[in-house]
Amino acid sequence: MQLLKDRILAEGKVMPGNILNVSSFLNQQVDINLYNEIGKEFLQRFNSVPVTRILTIEASGIGIACVTAQYFNVPVVFARKFRAKNIDSNLYLANVTSYTHGINYTISVPKQYLNESDSVLLIDDFLANGCAMEGLINIVHESGAKLAGAGVVIEKGFQGGGKRIRQQNIRLKSLVIIESMDDNNIVFRQ
């Protein structure tokens, strides 16, 4: 997706620890026009599979999932990283390690929102080591739902998460894949 590549090159900043900061348009400040193009692109890449729900993880994935869901005309369900007091205990759970934050947490989705009649598309902003995506995959499997695929805005191909997901025969579509990056250069996979 050339529009996304152009924005990454113009505004992305490589931080220590192989962190790509795209907060000026994707995470902290949101460019809704770009989000709309992202949603349309995910629809194009997954229009051949039935989708009844989009599942993401809080927080940065929610906005992208919501905009994408309007094109599929389906609800969004998101996994919480921290359990709220107003959520009952009938939950699907998965353990996840955050690459960006360097912490472990248990994500949860109420069982009432996913079941064996669903076909679930996973949507997230980043894929690095793949732990968050694998947690979402585990929740879909536990629910008995069909996994329609996984869409990622930015995949850091050099970190191996995408490779592990694809080895599970999961239809993973990343809008851009970064082959390598350092302080002065970001190289995209062709």
Q: Find the range with the poorest average confidence among 76-90, 100-114, 119-133.
A: 76-90
Helices (H) and strands (E) in the chain, counts: 5, 10
- Greater confidence (99 vs 167) lies with 167
Q: What is the pTM of this model?
A: 0.93
How much is the pLDDT for 57? 93
Identify the sign of the CA torsion 152, 100, 156, 144: negative
Average pLDDT over residues 154-179: 96
Average pLDDT over residues 158-180: 96
**Is 64:153 a contact under the CB 8 Å cutoff?**
yes
**Is 103:120 a contact under the CB 8 Å cutoff?**
no
How much is the pLDDT for 86? 56
Of the pLDDT bands very low, low, confident and very high (cuts 50, 70, 90), residue 109 is very high
Q: In 3D, which of 89, 116, 32, 102 has the Cα closest to residue 66? A: 32
- CATH number of the domain at 111, please: 3.40.50.2020
Task: Take residue 30 and report the two structure tokens written for it.
Answer: 């949101």
Whole-angstrom distance, CA of residue 183 vs CA of residue 190: 21
Range of the domain at 129: 2-188
Average pLDDT over residues 60-67: 94
Highest mean pLDDT among 57-66, 91-100, 139-148: 139-148
Cis peptide before 59 (omega within 30 of 0): yes
Task: State how many domains the chain has.
Answer: 1
Of the pLDDT bands very low, low, confident and very high (cuts 50, 70, 90), residue 87 is low
SS3 for 23?
coil
The dihedral formed by the CA atoms of 154, 158, 163 and 165, expressed in degrees to the nearest 10: -40
Average pLDDT over residues 163-181: 96
186 CB-near residues (< 8 Å, 6+ apart): 8, 9, 12, 14, 20, 178, 180
Residue 135, pLDDT above cutoff 70: yes
